[in-house]
Amino acid sequence: MTYTSMESPMPLDESTSRTGFYDEELRKFNWNLLIIEILLFGVGIWNLISATGVQDKSLGLYKSQLIWFGVGMICTGLIFLLHYSTFSRLAYPIYFANILLLVAVLVLGKSTLGAKRWIGIGALRLQPSEFMKLSMVICLAKYFETDRTVSGYGIRDLLLPTVLVGVPSLLIMAQPDLGTAMIIMLTFGSMMLFVKIRPQTLLIIGLIAALALPAVYKFALKPYQKQRIVSFIDPGSDPKGSGYNSIQSMVAVGSGKILGKGYRKGTQSQLNFLPEHHTDFIFSVFSEEHGFVGGVILITLYLVFLHNGLQVAYQSNDKFALLLCLGIVFIFFWHFAVNIGMVTGLLPIVGVPLPFLSYGGSALITATLGVAVLLNVANKKFMF
Amino acid sequence: MAFLGQEEQVREYQDRFKYLYTILFLAVTILLGRLVDLQILRGDKMRQASEDNRIKKVKIAAPRGMIFDRNRRLLVDNRPSFDIEIIPQYLYESKQTDAVMSRLSKILHLSEPEIHEILRKNKSQGAFLPVKIKTDLSRDEVAEIESWKLDMPGVQITEEIQRTNIFGEVASHLLGYIGEITQTEYTALSKDPKNTYKKGDSSGKFGLEQKLEPVLRGQDGEKLLEVDALGRTKLNKNKGRVLDELPEKPAVPGKNLLLTIDQDLQLAAAKAFGDKAGSLVAIDPRNGEILAMVSRPGFDPTVFSRGISNKLWQSLLANEKKPLIDRTIQGQYSPGSTFKVLTAIAGLEEGVIDEHTKFHCPGYIWVGNRKMHCHEKKGHGEVSVVTAITRSCDVFFYRVAQRLKSVDDIAKWARHLGLGRKTGINLAREAKGLIPTEDWKLKTYGEAWNGGETLSVAIGQSYVLTTTLQLANLYASIGNGGTLYQPFMVKEVESFEGQILEQFQPKVVDSAKIGERTRELIMQGLWGVINSPIGTARSQVLPGMDFVGKTGTVQVMAVSADRIYHKCDTYKYKERHHGVFAGFAPATNPVIAVAVIAEHACSGSRGAAPIGRAVVKTYLEKYFPDLYGEKAVAARLKGKPAPTHLTFPTEPVHAVPEDDENEAILPNTDVRPDRRATETDTEVVPPEPPSLTPTGDE
């Protein structure tokens, strides 16, 4: 038997195998997540054009939002070049750098509406409190990765995580940015419950919280924050004052009825009855103009988005990746639930933006970074 | 405590995901339930609430404080100006577009396509956003639109307050102007926690408007206005009134200013200037109150108050006469011969000359191998200090300078009398002027002082620079016997109800100890300038008013030797001499001191002195009618010779031309050419154009 070149078995071709590698990479890529992210942002920008068409400080801001999303996409690409285990290695440096930024905000920060939230770097304005959410999740995932306790954690095990979360929370509350601090604590709490805490420990924490709450209300909260809580309990008590925002927002949502008033025709937002309509109350703008149908579609989009995130966490095969993804999903979930709860009058008004819809560069970049980490884990879980 | 491997623990975690999904679905159910509640169950009610949403917060603009002159004549006021706007959404919704358009086009004298074009241009913004169709409507237009209001849905009239300078250009620099705050100013302001400025607000940019911004600015109020779902203010049937306001926070108007300025003097000065460029300052020597302060050419501050058009702004910047410069405090000029009184004071007080000292003036003097000229080519002959001032003899003062120990002797007296330092007037951008000393030259140029330069300083040339305000204050101080006041022009700050909040008192900043005899001699010299037959400004005499002063003519450009005795009028405008005049009245216990710079007017006596004279005359006649009114003066002068309450020395005199034009001839050539140009050397930095493009995020 002679071998001619025609009959010879296919030699291992370098280029084919490379192509195969990329094919594999692309096949594994979690397209669903990316597509939903872009869909959500698309709806967001379309809605923002309506919300910022009003003659006030927000006019034309959607353009900057587009730029921020572009920056976020570039970051997504860059993160894809790394393996997620890098985050585990760099967890503490990232965390401490972020803490430094938070301190810098308090020292050098610029204020908006009496609160110091951002620092300027050239023309950019950074809100380090947004990035802190991710830094914290990375840190917690790393902490629990090395721990092997199964029967539930006690007070002593929770000491370090509590400090890790407590320090940035206090720094953020000092800004004061109650909304972000709250999201951080909710995410922390959810992760703690997920990794399992001993029942008796839970009971003690619950007792302490119950005792501390009145003291916090009395001493730690600023008068306007107290006023929000009072007006949440009874919005009618001062309809032109602090309850104004809540009432106007509920009217905006409700007046959209089933089909909405039509794009750019929401009187509540377009006539400035609705405050902060391009940031915290963006969902009200959407609901007013697109009604119940629009609201259901948007909430379904979020549901699918969160489900996909949870699936990435579920399918990851190491503890760090699972907790990391889960933490990120928690951040998104709490933003989503608290924001919509707040604008529909179910929760008091705290400044929590709606991911991908609210205007805000740091928040949008943080959201895209979060999705970038999910995409990375989904893709690289088999590569060790 | 049990320990598990990584994989087992991951599996254990995966088991817990069912709880997560439960919570997620629960949360979504609650939110959807809330939407059902708000949008479906309570939808109609909420829709009605949004249609009824009448409570709209509207800003009530606080009027800025008004500015009055010393006799409570209104100088700066706030006057309403009306604009017409269309909210496209309401117009189109009404289905009456054509009818509205044809009516509007008739009222506004705009064609229908023009109006449509304006709307089309603004289509990219939201349909609820008002589009400005025409600004500054006439009263008739406003009345007609108001009467058709209910037939023109979507059409509204807005009222804006326009800062109005009643006398336009007169006192433009002093009063200044306002404009929208710039991005830079806004950023700076927002650092202050007490800041009450919002984007789009106005603030003072120049003059008193700028310097007294915190006083003049009021506090905006806020009101709740009831509007219907179409944004129109609701008609209240009960009262028959259009507005049904729920006042919340009233606006607090800014505080009013009562100035020391007399508008009649301002007007007299402006009239006397004609189209000349230059400046005039008149001060009350008894207390430092500024009576008049005029810089020409001016501009109309009113056009700034609602945003000056770029074209107009550029034309103001490009104007070669630089109308935006305040020549009273920003312009620095060589004082020329008006400075000679200081050399005389220094000479007499330092003891190098006395009343009997006489120098011979042959029309020049040799300094080393250089010939320094007197402006009088033929020379003045034998001159004493009094004649030297009266006839502005350069040679006399050269000789005084030669006898003085150093230039610092002159500088010392100049400083005590307010030159070479800021007067401290309450205005931004005041220039310091310059009085050279030996130290100063060493520090600035690294060169030792050259004795010859003292001679130039002695006649107000060389490095010496003064502002018109300093010059007026100098003569006020000489007039009152050496007391230097800080000039001021705000007499009182009052609340908008007229209650006096603050009163400003005269403030003495320095006191020059000029001897009694020196004062008399100086006064005789200054008296002679105007009131003697040999004075350089004898045509400016004010009979019975004892108006005294000193002229000066300052060369602007080095003129080549063959042209120095040419007529100034034949030069190009920019090369003509500046005319300077400073003086006061009456000679004893003066009540007004005045300084004038008339740029490129060729001569002090013909260009500048008449302007000062007009202001002094107006002032004396207005405030002292018993002493200086026409009748009083006539009665006093009846049958009497010219007033000679000051003894004037008689000396042999040759025929003297009144013309002092040649005073301008630069006596020597060792002056640095860059210092010779006495053009106003302060540049106006154009304010940053208003840009409100947001940067970065929230």
Kindly list the distances between the CA atom of residue A78 and the CA atoms of A84, A88, A368, A369, A376, in Å, as whole numbers in the listed order. 12, 17, 12, 10, 10
Averaged pLDDT for residues B512-516: 87
Which residues of chain B neighbour A118 with C-beta distances below 8 Å?
696-698
ipTM: 0.89
Q: State whether residue A243 sits within 8 Å of chain B by CB.
A: no
Is the pLDDT reported for residue B98 higher than 70? yes
Query: Which pLDDT tens digit goes with each residue over B632-651?
Result: 888 877 765 544 444 444 44
Lookup: tokens for B439: 């130290």
- Torsional sign, CA B578, B327, B588, B357: negative
The pLDDT confidence band at residue B674, using thresholds 50, 70 and 90, is very low
Contact A29, A379 (CB under 8 A): yes
Contact B604, B336 (CB under 8 A): yes
Distance, in Å, from the CA atom of B369 to the CA atom of B378, rounded to the nearest integer, reads 20
Q: One-letter amino acid identity for A66?
A: L
Of A55, A256, A303, which is closest to B39 when you measure between CB atoms? A256
Asked if A240's CB is within 8 angstroms of B55's CB, the reply is: yes
Dihedrals phi, psi of B429, to nearest 5 degrees:
70, 20
Closest chain B residue by Cα to residue A333:
B24
Is the pLDDT reported for residue B32 higher than 90? yes
Which residues of chain A neighbour B122 with C-beta distances below 8 Å?
none
Is the pLDDT reported for residue B473 higher than 90? yes
Query: Which pLDDT tens digit goes with each residue over B268-282?
Result: 999 998 888 899 999
Q: Mind telling me how many Å the CA of A230 is from chain B's nearest CA?
A: 21
Q: State whether residue A42 sits within 8 Å of chain B by CB.
A: no
Of B4, B47, B191, which is closest to A150 when you measure between CB atoms? B4
Closest chain A residue by Cα to residue B224:
A240
Contacts 24+ apart (CB under 8 A), B116-121: B119/B86, B119/B88
Longest dimension (CA), chain A: 98
Task: Report the pLDDT value the prediction gives residue A184, as an integer from 0 to 100.
Answer: 94
Q: Mind telling me how many Å the CA of A89 is from chain B's nearest CA?
A: 18
Mean pLDDT, chain A, integer? 83
Asked if B12's CB is within 8 angstroms of A194's CB, the reply is: no
Is the pLDDT reported for residue B692 higher than 80? no
The pLDDT confidence band at residue A114, using thresholds 50, 70 and 90, is low
Task: Report the pLDDT value the prediction gives residue A148, as an integer from 0 to 100.
Answer: 61
CB atoms within 10 A of CB B485: 24
Kindly state the helix (H) or strand (E) to which residue B390 belongs, with its residue range: helix B385-391
Distance, in Å, from the CA atom of B606 to the CA atom of B584, rounded to the nearest integer, reads 17
- In order, the DSSP letters of B511-560 are E----HHHHHHHHHHHHHHHHSTT-TTGGG--TTS--EEEEEEE--S---
Averaged pLDDT for residues B514-530: 89
Contact A79, A369 (CB under 8 A): yes
Which residues of chain A neighbour B127 with C-beta distances below 8 Å?
264-265, 270
Asked if B14's CB is within 8 angstroms of A64's CB, the reply is: no
Asked if B44's CB is within 8 angstroms of A54's CB, the reply is: no
Which residues of chain A neighbour B224 with C-beta distances below 8 Å?
240
Q: Best interface-test mutation with A: which of B8, B9, B223, B697 has the largest number of A CBs within 10 A? A: B697
Averaged pLDDT for residues A221-250: 72
Asked if A314's CB is within 8 angstroms of B697's CB, the reply is: no
Query: Which pLDDT tens digit goes with each residue over B103-143?
Result: 888 888 888 888 888 888 777 666 777 788 887 788 888 88
Of B3, B53, B229, which is closest to A148 when you measure between CB atoms? B3
Asked if B231's CB is within 8 angstroms of A271's CB, the reply is: yes
Least reliable range by pLDDT among B213-222, B408-417, B643-652, B666-675: B666-675
Of A148, A292, A317, which is closest to B40 when you measure between CB atoms? A292
Mean pLDDT, chain B, integer? 80
| Peptide linkage before A176 cis (omega within 30 of 0) | yes
Asked if B27's CB is within 8 angstroms of A333's CB, the reply is: yes
Distance, in Å, from the CA atom of B551 to the CA atom of B658, rounded to the nearest integer, reads 11
| Peptide linkage before A93 cis (omega within 30 of 0) | no
Query: Which pLDDT tens digit goes with each residue over B60-75?
Result: 778 889 999 999 999 9
Distance, in Å, from the CA atom of B371 to the CA atom of B601, rounded to the nearest integer, reads 28
Q: Would you give the DSSP letter of residue B563?
A: G
Which residues of chain B neighbour A296 with C-beta distances below 8 Å?
32, 35
Q: Which of A325-329, B69-73, B611-615, B664-668 has the highest mean pLDDT?
A: A325-329
Q: Which A residues, 53 through 112, put their C-beta within 8 Å of a C-beta on chain B?
A: 53-55, 57, 59-61, 64, 68, 111-112
Which residues of chain A neighbour B154 with C-beta distances below 8 Å?
none
Q: Three-state SS string across A175-213, please?
A: CCCHHHHHHHHHHHHHHHHHHCECHHHHHHHHHHHHHHH
Q: Three-state SS string across B195-240, please?
A: CCCCCCCEEECCHHHHHCHHHHCCECEEEEEEECCCCCECCECCCC
Contact B232, B575 (CB under 8 A): no
Q: State whether residue A340 sits within 8 Å of chain B by CB.
A: yes
Averaged pLDDT for residues B416-432: 88
Least reliable range by pLDDT among A226-240, B289-303, B463-477, B635-649: B635-649
Q: Which of A115-129, B188-202, B349-363 has the highest mean pLDDT?
A: B349-363
Which residues of chain B neighbour A271 with C-beta distances below 8 Å?
53, 56, 128, 231
Kindly state the helix (H) or strand (E) to which residue B413 belongs, with its residue range: helix B407-416
Closest chain B residue by Cα to residue A146:
B6
Closest chain A residue by Cα to residue B230:
A267
Q: State whether residue A248 sits within 8 Å of chain B by CB.
A: yes
Q: State whether residue A366 sits within 8 Å of chain B by CB.
A: no
Is the pLDDT reported for residue B660 higher than 70? no
Closest chain A residue by Cα to residue B131:
A55
Is the pLDDT reported for residue A233 higher than 50? yes
How much of chain A exceeds pLDDT 70, in percent?
A: 82
A203 vs A110, more confident: A203
Q: Mind telling me how many Å the CA of A300 is from chain B's nearest CA?
A: 9
Q: State whether residue A27 sits within 8 Å of chain B by CB.
A: no
A-B C-beta contacts closer than 8 Å: 186
Asked if B39's CB is within 8 angstroms of A118's CB, the reply is: no
Query: Which pLDDT tens digit goes with each residue over B248-267?
Result: 678 888 999 999 999 999 99
Distance, in Å, from the CA atom of A18 to the CA atom of B314, rounded to the nearest integer, reads 64
Asked if B39's CB is within 8 angstroms of A253's CB, the reply is: yes
Task: Report the pLDDT value the prediction gives residue B182, as an integer from 0 to 100.
Answer: 76
Kindly state the helix (H) or strand (E) to which residue B317 belongs, with its residue range: helix B310-318
Asked if A264's CB is within 8 angstroms of B193's CB, the reply is: no
Task: Report the pLDDT value the prediction gives residue B126, as an integer from 0 to 100.
Answer: 64
Task: Report the pLDDT value the prediction gives residue B684, as an integer from 0 to 100.
Answer: 41
Task: Report the pLDDT value the prediction gives residue B286, as an integer from 0 to 100.
Answer: 92
Of B34, B47, B248, which is closest to A257 when you measure between CB atoms? B47
Averaged pLDDT for residues B652-656: 39
Task: Report the pLDDT value the prediction gives residue B471, as an integer from 0 to 100.
Answer: 93
| Peptide linkage before B297 cis (omega within 30 of 0) | yes
Task: Report the pLDDT value the prediction gives residue B319, as an integer from 0 to 100.
Answer: 83
Q: State whether residue A194 sits within 8 Å of chain B by CB.
A: yes
Of A124, A258, A303, which is closest to B39 when you measure between CB atoms? A258
Asked if B34's CB is within 8 angstroms of A344's CB, the reply is: yes
Averaged pLDDT for residues A112-135: 75
Dihedrals phi, psi of B516, to nearest 5 degrees:
-60, -45
Rg (CA), chain B: 35
- In order, the DSSP letters of A120-168 are EETTEEE-HHHHHHHHHHHHHHHHHHS--B-S-B-HHHHHHHHHHHHHH
Kindly state the helix (H) or strand (E) to which residue A360 belongs, with its residue range: none
C-alpha B539 chain-centroid distance: 32
Q: State whether residue A267 sits within 8 Å of chain B by CB.
A: yes
Kindly state the helix (H) or strand (E) to which residue B280 belongs, with its residue range: strand B278-283
Which residues of chain A neighbour B1 with C-beta distances below 8 Å?
149-151
pTM of the model: 0.59
Which residues of chain A neighbour B193 with C-beta distances below 8 Å?
111, 114
Q: Best interface-test mutation with A: which of B38, B40, B45, B223 has the largest number of A CBs within 10 A? A: B38
Least reliable range by pLDDT among A43-52, A206-215, B544-553: A206-215
